[in-house]
Amino acid sequence: MTAKLQLIGLKKKLRGRQVLDGVDLDVAPGKSIVIIGGSGQGKSVTLKCTLGLMKPDSGQVLVDGAEITKMPVEIRARVMRKFGMLFQGAALFDSLSVWENIAFRLIYADNVPRKDARERAIETMRKVRLSPDFADVRPIELSGGMQKRAGLARAIIAKPDILFFDEPTTGLDPITADAINDLIVEMVKELDCAAVSITHDMPSARKISDEIAMLHDGKIVWRGPTSTLDSSGNAMVDQFVAGRADGPIQAVV
Amino acid sequence: MIGLTAVFIGAALALNIYVGGARFNAESFVPNIVVLGITRELGPVLAGLMLAGRVSAGIAAEIGTMRVTEQIDAMTTLSTDPFKFLIAPRVLAAVLTLPVLVAVADIIGVMGGYLVAVNSLDFNGATYLRNTFNFLETQDVVLGLTKAAVFGFIIAVMGAYQGYNSSGGALGVGRATTNAVVGAIVLILAVNYLITAFFVE
Ligand SMILES: Nc1ncnc2c1ncn2[C@@H]1O[C@H](COP(=O)(O)OP(=O)(O)O)[C@@H](O)[C@H]1O
Ligand SMILES: [Mg+2]
């Protein structure tokens, strides 16, 4: 069976630093993988290269077996339809109302009539348990957790095959964070899609993943089913999971 | 604001030309030179510089904020081209609006010159206006409005370019804004010279 998404030898140098130094990863259909790793280790850069927001210096990104990094932009835009992404700060458009944000892709890329788009946006708001009362307000009036819900609704409205999450729980209180975790699990199951998340929040990583991969020094240093995380036999993983300052990983201060 | 600037510039221009013209008995050319100076040069350049401060900075700040908050990345993942959605409409709007503003500024500027000439310099109002419009050629207006459209383009593209390529949080947006204004001003002045030289050829 071909992987839904496969990264092969991704390399990227930024400001003279080899941020990604050959990242290999594959995600099976319907599976949820979480990439953990310290701050500044290149988790976001990995995601950006995958999504085509950044061009890797070398390496390949395969979606359903097709290499996408060298596709012309117009064709890649079609592949993008299979993707849904929840950004770290939700990245809602502050000049549009909440429902227009959620329906953005339908209105501006798929030419769905506004009336139908609005109906689908409101239906999606219910799914992520965001009250339709907020449909017409501006995103800045929403709390952090509600913005994440709106961002999630925007990501799933077109029923993607792969969902990406960049630090979905960062900046949220533990209770709200857990509600977002539940929602992610529920949506991934409902859409039956693959998911790639990055986080350094370990409770969240355990909850939303089938598998965990650890990124360090530009490479995936360990990967395995979530249940084996505590018996990984990898000193770096052990140190990261336990959150200790002493070990093979030096804290960057 | 551009109107206010234009009225004062027109008035000052009329006074200066009067004083300068008096030195070789050419005071009667005040209306001709005022209208020429304003439509060909001062109207578009002043409007361009003022809007570089406001519009270029505004566009850079808006698009820069969207860049650093990942809204532009988000737009790409939603299969929408940020260039078509964000940049093209702003450039088009600036290219279309600036000539209109400049045309209005030109009229107000000429009015400023007229007021000073009639009230302080003892010109006959009707003669002043007749001289103004008889002297003005289509070519002058075309030159002025062409400049205005080009300046509109520079203002919007500079703002969009700096905003689009900004990075590094609020600080980066601030830097983009400053760069947009400075870049637009320098480009406007340089391109103004080139267009004038080209038309004089
Ligand atoms: N657009 C960019 N330009 C230059 N350097 C960048 C850019 N984005 C990220 N970096 C650098 O790449 C490194 C990895 O960043 P990132 O992927 O955001 O880390 P994290 O694992 O915390 O998500 C950091 O050192 C960061 O400074
Ligand atoms: Mg990150």
pLDDT (tens digit per residue) in B68-96: 999 999 999 999 999 999 999 999 999 99
Pair of tokens at residue B35: 């209208």
Q: How far apart are CA B126 and CA B119, in angstroms?
A: 13
Q: Which residue, judged by its Cα, is nearest atom 5 of ligand 1?
A: A14
Q: Which residue has the tokens 């490479």?
A: A219
Give the pLDDT score at B78. Answer: 93
Q: Which residue, judged by its Cα, is nearest atom 20 of ligand 1?
A: A40
Average of per-residue pLDDT values in chain B: 92
According to DSSP, the β-strands at A211-216 and A32-36 are: parallel
pTM: 0.88
Q: A167 CA distance to ligand 2 centroid (A)? A: 7
Give the pLDDT score at B66. Answer: 96
Q: How far apart are CA A205 and CA A198, in angstroms?
A: 8
Q: How far apart are CA B84 and CA B9, in angstroms?
A: 38
pLDDT < 70 regions, chain A: 1, 252-253
Q: How far apart are CA A10 and CA A56, in angstroms?
A: 6
Pair of tokens at residue A195: 């998911």
Sign of CA dihedral B12, B13, B16, B22: negative
Q: Which residues of B touch A (CB under 8 A)?
A: 66, 69-71, 73-81, 85
Sign of CA dihedral A61, A64, A65, A66: negative
Amino acid at B73: D
**Chain A partners within 8 Å of B78 (Cβ):** 80, 104-105, 108-109, 154
Whether A53 sits inside 8 A of B71 (CB atoms) is no
Give the pLDDT score at B20. Answer: 87
Minimal CA separation from B157 to chain A, in Å: 21
* Residues A101 and B80 sit within 8 Å (Cβ to Cβ): no
Residue A176 CB burial class (10 angstroms; 0-12, 13-18, ≥19): middle
Q: Give residue A5's region: left, alpha or beta (phi > 0; psi -120 to 50).
A: beta
Q: A45 CA distance to ligand 1 centroid (A)? A: 6
For residue A197, give every residue at least 6 positions away whose Cβ sits within 8 Å of its Cβ, in sequence order, or none.
A32, A33, A34, A35, A164, A165, A166, A168, A184, A205, A208, A209
Angle between the B138-164 and B43-51 helix axes, to the nearest 10 degrees?
Answer: 10
Shortest CA distance to A172 belongs to which of A155, A149, A138, A196? A149
Q: Which residue in the set B73, B77, B85 is minimally distant from A108, CB to CB? A: B85
Q: Which residue of B has its CA nearest to A77?
A: B79
Please list the pLDDT of chain B residue by residue as tens digits (201 residues).
Answer: 778 888 888 889 888 888 888 888 888 888 888 898 989 999 999 999 999 999 999 999 999 999 999 999 999 999 999 999 999 999 999 999 999 999 999 999 999 999 999 988 888 989 999 989 889 888 999 999 999 999 999 999 999 999 999 998 999 999 999 999 999 999 999 999 999 998 887
Give the pLDDT score at A252. Answer: 64
Q: B162 CA distance to ligand 1 centroid (A)? A: 20
> Which CATH entry fits the domain spanning A5-242: 1.10.600.10, 3.40.50.1580, 3.40.50.720, 3.40.50.300?
3.40.50.300
Give the pLDDT score at B24. Answer: 84
Q: How far apart are CA A102 and CA A107, in angstroms?
A: 10
Q: Which residue in the set A85, A89, A108 is minimally distant from B77, CB to CB? A: A85
Give the pLDDT score at B22. Answer: 85
Q: Give the max Cα distance, chain A.
A: 57
Strands (E) across chain A are located at 5-14, 17-27, 32-36, 58-63, 66-67, 83-86, 162-166, 194-198, 211-216, 219-225
Q: How far apart are CA A73 and CA A62, in angstroms?
A: 15
Give the pLDDT score at B107. Answer: 92
Question: Domain segments of chain A: what residues?
Answer: 5-242
According to DSSP, the β-strands at A162-166 and A194-198 are: parallel
Q: Which residue in the set B74, B81, B85 is minimally distant from A91, CB to CB? A: B74
Give the pLDDT score at A171. Answer: 86
3-state secondary structure of A19: strand
Question: Domain segments of chain B: what residues?
Answer: 2-200
